[in-house]
Amino acid sequence: MGRVSGKVAIVTGGSQGLGKADCEALAREGAKVVLTDIKDAAGEAVVAALNAAHPGCAIYLHQDVRDEARWLEVVEKTVAHFGRLDILVNNAGLVIPETPEATSLENFRLHNAVMSEGVFLGCKAAIPAMAKSGGGSIINVSSIASHLGYPIYFSYTAAKGAVRAMTKALAVWCQMQKYNIRVNSIHPGATDTPMVQDNMKQLGIPIESVKESGPGLGQPEDVANVVLFLASDESVYLNGAELVLDNALSIQ
């Protein structure tokens, strides 16, 4: 217990799936959590459950990660409420399966606005506040799609590839500026979340067939455990890294 005690985290897209599991793990280990999402009812329900288990540990803020002004407000409200900012988990995302030729410019821009521009805006807004708090950890959620050729997820792959590259540049920049801020990316494979379940339905792929495959289907808690490690002081020498969480899928 207490692996991130005294730390304050912002988790985007925290109302379900990976983000929800991240919030639960961070709160369980002593962090204060600011959960943001566009799904207000679901986000507020998660925060209510967190506060029932760990009184006063969490607040909910509505946030569209594409909105630069809102990012500044979220960081400001976080510091005003909890006094500091130590952890940012850029988790918000979406996926619309489309091949390169079928992809619309609108959907390509949507994926990149949420997952590429959203990560950029989050890091830009959070870094000054983290530096004032003495440093911290930024965890950018990418995907094994950034390593593999997934034409059916063309826009998603492009956006997650940008996250992978930005993470490295941000890690070096923060080190050059002596901010004491580490920036790492995680790259989950197929994980048992509502987004993946809905996606499998769209593609007509039985979720059981994924579960029964060699690598199987990861659980949100599997990813949250790695987020917790990266958020904690246990990973102080891990910086600019990309952690692949896919049970060897990407090397087969």
Q: What is the pLDDT of residues 67-90, one digit of tens each?
A: 999 999 999 999 999 999 999 999
Pairing of strands 58-62, 242-245: unpaired
- Distance between alpha carbon 35 and the CA centroid of its chain, in Å? 11
**Domain definitions of the chain by residue range:** 8-188+221-245
Q: What is the pLDDT of residues 103-114, one digit of tens each?
A: 999 999 999 999
pLDDT at 214: 80
What is the spatial order of strands in the sheet that 32-37 belongs to? 58-62, 32-37, 8-12, 87-90, 136-141, 181-188, 242-245
What are the catalytic residues? 156
Q: What is the pLDDT of residues 183-211, one digit of tens each?
A: 999 999 989 998 888 888 888 888 888 78
pTM: 0.96
Q: Can you identify the CATH homologous superfamily of domain 8-188+221-245? A: NAD(P)-binding Rossmann-like Domain (3.40.50.720)
- Distance between alpha carbon 147 and the CA centroid of its chain, in Å? 17
Q: What percent of the chain has pLDDT over 70?
A: 100
